[in-house]
Amino acid sequence: MTASRQIQGLQFSIAVRMTLTGLLVAFAGIRQSTAQDSREIRIGVIPGVLKYDMVRFDAAAGESLTVTFGNNGLMQHNWLLVKPGKADAVVSAAMALGSDGLAASFIPDSDDVLQSTPLVDPGQSVSIRFEAPENPGEYPYVCTFPGHGIIMRGVMVVKPASSELEAPVVEEVEQIRIRNNFEGVTYTTRPEGSPEKPFVIRTYMPDPGIPDEVFANHGKGMDARRYSPDRGDDVEGTVPPIDGVPAAIGLNYGNELSVCFDTLECRLLYAWTNGFLNMDAYWGRGPGGGRKSFDYVPRLEGDLFFMAEGRHPVTINGNTPALKFKSIGYDKGIPTLSYQCSKSRVSEKFAVTGENSFSITYELSAAEGETLAYSIPESLAAMITPVDGSGNTRTSTMKAAPGTTRTQTIEFKIQ
């Protein structure tokens, strides 16, 4: 495989320490603290999507605040308030901590960090009290656990003391659906789903050798200088990039089918059977995990039968559009992955249909003025099941005319 991937110049890695009991209710909200003259802001996590559930709140200049950060997610997180415009710099400094980062809760020794919590385990919470800055402005907050800082962000807007404060902005996500995916799952380093209830995890996925041309939006990780939290400075040596694919979703439908979907490239990266992921290095062994290493890439188990190549299968008016992942929805327990293509939208839903066979339901919703086309990759199209005994197969290219929606289910036979 090739060099590890990087997002917008920052190496993206995700570590999961899974706690399957004792998840907290959502922390989104704002209320008065019992502490005199201190207003409490309660911030939580949206499980499974690496986001704070509160993405903005207002504060008066110099106001006394108590931020309670409750980790109702499935992995460790922290909360750092930083100076305006310094979020990227703080995230980069946290990444440079390398294997020393866990001991420092991935909090770099930087004047850009104004307030911070330590790493908070799933099911736990921590409160910090401080005074808002006197200078009005937008002060970002971010999780600096490796990989999380790309998307796990919010902003505290400091306004003059006499200004009216707006209500917090809370992300509206069906958290119950996400959490229910893990109901009844006991601890194992080899998680498994079923055709009726697939196992879904957003993680740093293995790269079995995907061509560089597939990663139009990923960069490549570079060696970083080793950082010592005790000295507060770089020390001799470097930290290699973590090998794998960030921003990915792994789905397992039992022994019949597993797929890897990249939420940055918005495409199916690879598919395999007879196994899923070995999480030993990722979660650690034994109940509760206990991972000690700086190894965030699970191991692929099973037999690979498809791997992406070439440009993205979607075009708008004949050109490859800008892409943005939107959501994971569920239809009777089966996940549907949706992404934006320019102004249009595509969703893909995988299902097991029999022994060595599966289907993908494509929904193409073309915006006005946009002809949306989806060309199934050749190696996957070769597996399309014939319509009848004549040997004729369904078309491998689907189109939706401007302002229309086309839904088509195509069956594949694993060869």
Domain boundary among 119, 146, 173: 173
CA distances to 4, 51, 179, 231, 415 from 323, rounded to whole Å, are 21, 20, 27, 42, 31
Regarding whether 235 and 166 lie in a shared domain, the answer is no
Instruction: Calculate the CA dihedral of residues 57, 122, 35, 82 and round it to 10 degrees.
Output: -40
413: Cα separation from own chain's centroid: 30
Q: Answer whether residue 103 is part of any domain.
A: yes
Task: With CA atoms as reference, report the closest residue to 289 among 91, 49, 18, 73.
Answer: 18
Q: Answer whether residue 28 is part of any domain.
A: yes
Given a contact cutoff of 8 angstroms between Cβ atoms, the answer to whether 413 and 393 are in contact is no
Regarding whether 169 and 157 lie in a shared domain, the answer is yes
Domain of 218 in residue numbering reads as 187-310
Please name the residue that has the structure tokens 């029999």: 354
Q: Answer whether residue 54 is part of any domain.
A: yes
Domain boundary among 274, 291, 310: 310
At 166 the pLDDT is 92
Query: Along the 415 residues of the chain, how does pLDDT read in single tens digits?
Result: 444 444 333 332 223 333 322 333 333 333 333 445 789 999 998 866 678 999 999 999 999 999 999 988 777 899 999 999 999 899 888 888 877 788 899 999 999 999 999 999 888 899 999 999 999 999 999 999 887 887 899 999 999 998 899 999 987 654 434 333 444 445 567 888 999 999 998 888 999 999 989 988 876 655 666 655 556 666 777 666 667 888 789 999 999 999 999 998 999 999 999 999 988 776 665 544 455 455 678 899 999 999 999 999 999 999 999 999 988 888 888 999 999 999 999 999 999 999 899 999 999 999 999 999 999 999 999 899 876 555 555 668 999 999 999 999 999 999 8
Given a contact cutoff of 8 angstroms between Cβ atoms, the answer to whether 238 and 226 are in contact is yes
Task: With CA atoms as reference, report the closest residue to 267 among 252, 251, 254, 248.
Answer: 248
Tokens of 293: 């290493």
Q: What is the number of residues in the chain?
A: 415
Given a contact cutoff of 8 angstroms between Cβ atoms, the answer to whether 131 and 63 are in contact is yes
Tokens of 272: 């395999």
At 198 the pLDDT is 93
Q: Give φ, ψ of 65 to 5 degrees.
A: -125, 150
Q: Answer whether residue 404 is part of any domain.
A: yes
> Furthest-apart CA pair in the chain: how many Å?
80
Domain boundary among 286, 310, 334: 310
Regarding whether 156 and 274 lie in a shared domain, the answer is no
Q: Answer whether residue 91 is part of any domain.
A: yes
Regarding whether 129 and 44 lie in a shared domain, the answer is yes
The strands making up 258-262's β-sheet, listed across from edge to edge, are 199-205, 245-252, 258-262, 267-273, 303-307
Given a contact cutoff of 8 angstroms between Cβ atoms, the answer to whether 152 and 143 are in contact is yes
Task: With CA atoms as reference, report the closest residue to 343 among 320, 367, 359, 363.
Answer: 367
CA distances to 134, 200, 302 from 191, rounded to whole Å, are 49, 10, 13
Q: Give φ, ψ of 346 to 5 degrees.
A: -130, 140
Tell me the chain's radius of gyration from C-alpha atoms.
23
Residues of the chain by 3-state class (helix, strand, coil), percent to 5: 10, 40, 50
Rounded to an integer, what distance in angstroms lies between the CA atom of residue 139 and that of residue 153?
Answer: 11
At 237 the pLDDT is 73
Regarding whether 159 and 62 lie in a shared domain, the answer is yes
Is 214 strand, coil or helix? helix
Q: What is the CATH number of the domain that holds 157?
A: 2.60.40.420
Regarding whether 306 and 328 lie in a shared domain, the answer is no
Regarding whether 285 and 323 lie in a shared domain, the answer is no
Regarding whether 257 and 241 lie in a shared domain, the answer is yes
Regarding whether 152 and 255 lie in a shared domain, the answer is no
Regarding whether 88 and 193 lie in a shared domain, the answer is no
Q: Answer whether residue 274 is part of any domain.
A: yes
Rounded to an integer, what distance in angstroms lies between the CA atom of residue 205 and that of residue 307?
Answer: 14
The model's pTM is 0.59
Regarding whether 166 and 31 lie in a shared domain, the answer is yes
Q: Are strands 199-205 and 245-252 parallel, antiparallel or unpaired?
A: antiparallel
Identity of residue 399: K
DSSP 82-133: E-TT-HHHHHHHHHTTGGGTTTTTT----TTEEEE---B-TT-EEEEEEEPP
Q: How many domains does the chain have?
A: 3
Tokens of 1: 């495989």
At 374 the pLDDT is 96
At 233 the pLDDT is 63
At 121 the pLDDT is 85
Rounded to an integer, what distance in angstroms lies between the CA atom of residue 273 and that of residue 42?
Answer: 43
Tokens of 66: 């108590």
At 156 the pLDDT is 97
DSSP 208: S
Q: Answer whether residue 392 is part of any domain.
A: yes
Is 50 strand, coil or helix? coil
Given a contact cutoff of 8 angstroms between Cβ atoms, the answer to whether 245 and 259 are in contact is no
Q: Answer whether residue 157 is part of any domain.
A: yes
Regarding whether 403 and 325 lie in a shared domain, the answer is yes
Tokens of 284: 């650690």
